[in-house]
Amino acid sequence: MADAAVAIQNVSKFYSDAPVVNGLSLSIQPGEIFGLLGPNGAGKSTTIRMITTLTRPSEGSIQVAGYDVVRQPFLVKRQIGVVLQQMSVDVDLTVWENMEFHGRMHHIPKSRRQQDIDRWLEYVELADRRDDLVKTLSGGMKRRLQIARALLHEPRILFLDEPTVGLDPQTRRRLWEIIKGLNQQGMTILLTTHYMEEIEYLCGSPLDGDRPANRIGVMDSGKLIELGTLEELREKYGKGLLMKQMGDRWEYQFFPTLQDADAYLTHQPNKAGMMVRPSNLEDIFVELTGRNLD
């Protein structure tokens, strides 16, 4: 586990004796996009808060880039960039002032600071808005500013907690491209999201060369209940799906392949209310947790 970007061992977090995170063990490899899925209350945000030093674990240990989050929080903070679900930029400052303030907080020398601010504002397509007050930006622009600010001190690991929540589909897609581009440059990313298509797009890409596999972890009731690549999960649960309408609900039946599902349907004497399609991550999630994500 020593060379993992993030190493979590037997971590629990209790509030009033109730476990919000319960015996979690997980390692994330350098260069991986790791997607954390789970229904509301599964413990995803608490997990992110513990990894990013905002909340102390009740039990267990967490290391980020080799540093302990409890004993070496200052060193951990230098290794990470964090974009939380809540909007955390100062709306009464300009875009540039937000970046400048963050750069000074991280003691980035002035000569380098100006170059880096320009570089990252260019990267998230906000260079032309540098002198505008943040309160005048759209929701998507504010989120892009949060990402630029999180990258300014050159972290090794980027944490994104519901980064595109509340944004329109077109803006969401632009953010996906930014996140994907960062990973292709070698950045390790841990992402929590409510959007299945977001996880499938960012974590479901085929492996290339010596890059680590992007994986998906499913949390429910504070525990990690499934872990693997999108392809591994579809292999395990079945790539083909038969849907059967039962009154006002659908019943789902997994098959190893789409062809197997087709063959089963062909042999049914009454095919009314039945259809076959490829399985997706949402089907697997419902199978695991018994509920939809939203």
Domain assignment of residue 284, yes or no? no
Domain assignment of residue 1, yes or no? no
Domain match, 226 and 245 both: no
Quote the pLDDT of residue 1: 44
Tell me how many domains the chain contains.
2
Quote the pLDDT of residue 2: 47
Domain match, 205 and 269 both: no
Q: Identify whether the C-beta of residue 196 lies closer than 8 Å to the C-beta of residue 282.
A: yes
**Under the phi-then-psi rule, with left for phi > 0, alpha for psi from -120 to 50, and beta for the rest, what region is 189?**
beta
Residue 128 DSSP code:
G
Domain assignment of residue 292, yes or no? no
What are the tokens at 263? 């063959």
Residue 250 belongs to domain spanning: 239-278
Domain match, 147 and 225 both: yes
Domain match, 141 and 99 both: yes
- Indicate which CATH number applies to the domain containing 21: 3.40.50.300
Domain match, 97 and 219 both: yes
Domain assignment of residue 21, yes or no? yes
Quote the pLDDT of residue 275: 94
Q: Identify whether the C-beta of residue 227 lies closer than 8 Å to the C-beta of residue 216.
A: yes
Q: Identify whether the C-beta of residue 14 lies closer than 8 Å to the C-beta of residue 20.
A: yes
Domain assignment of residue 209, yes or no? yes
Domain match, 93 and 171 both: yes
Write b or e for each residue in 29-58: b if 16 or more Cβ atoms lie within 10 A of its Cβ, otherwise e. bbbbbbbbbbbeebbbbbbbbbbbbebebe
Domain match, 126 and 243 both: no
Domain match, 185 and 79 both: yes
**Cβ-based neighbour number of residue 248 at 10 Å:** 5
Domain assignment of residue 61, yes or no? yes
Domain match, 115 and 33 both: yes
Angle between helices 196-203 and 281-289 (to 10 degrees): 120
Quote the pLDDT of residue 172: 87
Domain assignment of residue 83, yes or no? yes
Write b or e for each residue in 65-90: b if 16 or more Cβ atoms lie within 10 A of its Cβ, otherwise e. bebebeebbeebbbbbbbbbbeeebe
Quote the pLDDT of residue 39: 83
**Dihedrals phi, psi of 120, to nearest 5 degrees:** -75, -35
Q: Identify whether the C-beta of residue 157 lies closer than 8 Å to the C-beta of residue 5.
A: yes
Domain assignment of residue 290, yes or no? no
Domain match, 58 and 181 both: yes
Domain match, 187 and 262 both: no
Ranges of the chain whose pLDDT falls below 50 = 1-2
Quote the pLDDT of residue 250: 86
Angle between helices 110-123 and 139-151 (to 10 degrees): 140
Domain match, 47 and 181 both: yes
